[in-house]
């Protein structure tokens, strides 16, 4: 679809067969521009303690708490 190139969040919400725990966004120069596709993730993006710390900081900053 034409809008997939413009909005990665729309693509991720509507496309079948996308890989979980992956980054989808621009695939061009330094992943800032270009068509939407699977990008690269740094190894720490899958680091459980880092993910938990980020989630905790996000909840605190938002003033909300979600039970997962």
Has residue 67 been placed in a domain?
no
Has residue 58 been placed in a domain?
yes
- Domain range for residue 17? 2-62
The domain tally of the chain equals 1
Has residue 54 been placed in a domain?
yes
Has residue 28 been placed in a domain?
yes
Has residue 49 been placed in a domain?
yes
pLDDT tens digits for range 23-56: 888 888 998 888 888 999 888 888 999 989 999 9
pLDDT tens digits for range 1-24: 444 455 788 888 888 899 888 888
Has residue 50 been placed in a domain?
yes
Residue-level pLDDT at 6? 58
**Average of per-residue pLDDT values in the chain:** 85
Residue 38's CB is within 10 A of a number of other CB atoms, namely: 12
Has residue 32 been placed in a domain?
yes
- pTM for the full predicted model: 0.58
């Amino acid at each position: 679809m034409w809008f997939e190139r413009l909005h990665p969040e729309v693509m991720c919400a509507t496309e079948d067969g996308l890989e979980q725990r992956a980054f989808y966004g621009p695939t061009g120069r330094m992943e800032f521009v270009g068509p939407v596709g699977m990008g690269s993730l740094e190894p720490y993006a899958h680091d459980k303690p880092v993910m938990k710390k980020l989630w905790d900081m996000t909840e605190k900053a938002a003033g909300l708490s979600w039970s997962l």
